[in-house]
Amino acid sequence: MSQEQYDQIPETLTLREVQFQVTVPGYRAQTLTIITTLTDPKTYSRQDIAELYGFRWNVELDIRAIKQTLHLDHARCKTPAMVRRELWVTLLAYNLIRKVIATAAAVHHKQPRQLGFTRACQSILASWMLLATGACRDVRGLYEMLLAQIAANEVANRPDRIEPRVLKRRRHRYPLMQRPRAALRAELTKT
């Protein structure tokens, strides 16, 4: 943050504290406190804020989709400009896929979050292959079939799920390089 941006921040900030109970069958009720800048209780009720807080899981799923399904778990480019370009292209692809999912949901009277992102990616790639090879001449028919296929791939509704933040398995047999390459080479030549 530049000094100019920092100077534009107000000296004080009006906040609102909202408390609500979270009850999960089989567990004790838990009181959550949220601090928010949505200060008008008439416009944003306590229930609305609690519901928005519940949607945070969707953000976790979106980040996972971008990192795993679209392979942005690490940047492949070398220069900062190309890394930015890689990020923006991946986000563009993500938004386009979400747009196709939203269209499929609207056409087939479902909610977009009910439809699987990974399966939608696979379906879109398969339809592009049909177009690229010239195997399909009926583009409109292919698009309608694509939307039907995406709408058929519903994800299970698993409310109140709690998942640990751990990796199930290491991706590679070798540990990560956490020291300079020269130091590691020197270590290997000593033995």
Structure confidence by residue, pLDDT tens digits, 14-55 = 999 999 988 877 888 889 999 999 999 999 999 999 888 888
Half-sphere CA count of 136, side-chain side, radius 13 A: 16
Q: Which two tokens stand for residue 186?
A: 């020197």
pLDDT tens, residue by residue, 77-120: 999 999 999 999 999 999 999 999 999 999 999 999 999 999 99
Domains of the chain, residue spans:
14-54, 56-159
Residues in CB range of 141: below 8 A, 6 or more apart:
none
Say how many C-beta atoms besides its own lie within 10 A of residue 83's C-beta: 13
Distance between CA atoms of residues 44 and 50, nearest Å: 10
Distance between CA atoms of residues 146 and 151, nearest Å: 9
Sign for the CA dihedral angle at 162, 165, 171, 174 comes to negative
pTM over 0.75: no
Q: What is the pLDDT of residue 57?
A: 78
Contact 83, 90 (CB under 8 A): no
**Of 145, 92, 151, 148, which Cα lies nearest the Cα of 116?**
151
Q: Percent of the chain having pLDDT more than 70?
A: 94
Q: What is the pLDDT of residue 174?
A: 78
Q: What is the mean pLDDT of residues 140-158?
A: 91
What region, left, alpha or beta, does residue 134 occupy, with left being phi > 0 and alpha being psi -120 to 50 degrees?
A: left
Q: What is the mean pLDDT of residues 127-132?
A: 85
Contact 155, 116 (CB under 8 A): yes
Confidence of residue 160 (pLDDT cuts 50, 70, 90): low
Confidence of residue 171 (pLDDT cuts 50, 70, 90): low
Q: What is the pLDDT of residue 191?
A: 67
* Model confidence at 170: pLDDT above 70: no
